[in-house]
Structure 1
Amino acid sequence: MYKTFGTHNYYVYMLTNKAKTVLYIGITNDLKERLYYHQNPEPHSKAFTAKYKCKYLVYYEHYDDVNVAIDRETQLKKWRRDKKEALIKGFNPEWKFLNDSI
């Protein structure tokens, strides 16, 4: 099957809670929609992000190839907290919540 280059969007992203004590790493093809669902979880949701109130976007990367995005998500999930924090600080030095800019 032929795939047109540049027509697909995939995002690897990091969310945190209000106190910035928890990090969640995810992947999606629609970042704005995914953020909406993190901010409005189903009642009684047992999801990690709902349990720990991770709904604030602090970091994201864009990819055209889903396999590259999946590999990157897997890589980031293996990193220690300090390495993830350094990545966030390089992209978003003040750890501003980026939800409204998406």
Structure 2
Amino acid sequence: MKLSYVYILKCSDNTYYTGVTSNLNNRLLEHKLGKHYESYTYSRRPVLLMFYTEFTDINIAISTEKQIKKWSKAKKEALINNVYDKLPNLAKKKFN
């Protein structure tokens, strides 16, 4: 059974990058070394792994990555900090 990973990196400009991979250690090394010049993290190094989770189905991993990418910074930080009870309220639209 091959595992896939969804991960969140904190970049040097305090933004978050969410990705999916089948080899977490290798992918993190690529981010840290700046292997991909065109990538989001290249000019925002150094990066720090803040969160990751494992999946046995790559399709679910990809779907989860896409979902997290749409989240607000506050919602990503709640996930990173294991404050799962805050996630539903952070998903609600704020009205002025």
| TM-score class, shorter | 0.7 to 0.9
Distance (Å, rounded) in 2 between the aligned partners of 1:66 and 1:11? 8
1:98 aligned partner: none
Contact 2:19–2:65 (CA under 8 A) maintained in structure 1: yes
Amino acid at match of 2:11: N
Q: 2:33 and 2:76 mapped to 1: Cα distance?
A: 25
The alignment's TM-score, normalised by the length of structure 1, stands at 0.74
Structure 2, unpaired ranges of 5+: 84-96
**Is the CA contact (8 Å cut-off) linking 1:17 and 1:54 kept in structure 2?**
yes
Contact kept, 8 Å, 2:20 with 2:61, in 1: the verdict is yes
Alignment of 1:32 with 2:25, yes or no, is: yes
Aligned length: 83
- The answer to whether the aligner puts 1:77 opposite 2:69 as a matched pair is yes
How much does 1:46 deviate?
2.9
Contact residue 10 and residue 30 of structure 1 kept, 8 A: yes
The aligned counterpart of 1:23 is 16
Is 2:8 aligned against 1:14?
A: yes
Task: Indicate if the aligned counterparts of 2:12 and 2:44 stay in contact, CA closer than 8 A.
Answer: no
Counterpart of 1:72 in structure 2: which amino acid? T
Cα RMSD of the aligned pairs, angstroms, is 1.8
C-alpha change, 1:79 and 1:49, in structure 2 (3 Å) is: same
* Structure 1: runs of 5+ lacking an equivalent: 1-6, 92-102
TM-score, normalised by the number of residues in structure 2? 0.78
* Residue 81 of structure 2, aligned match among 64, 89, 96: 89
Sequence identity percentage: 35
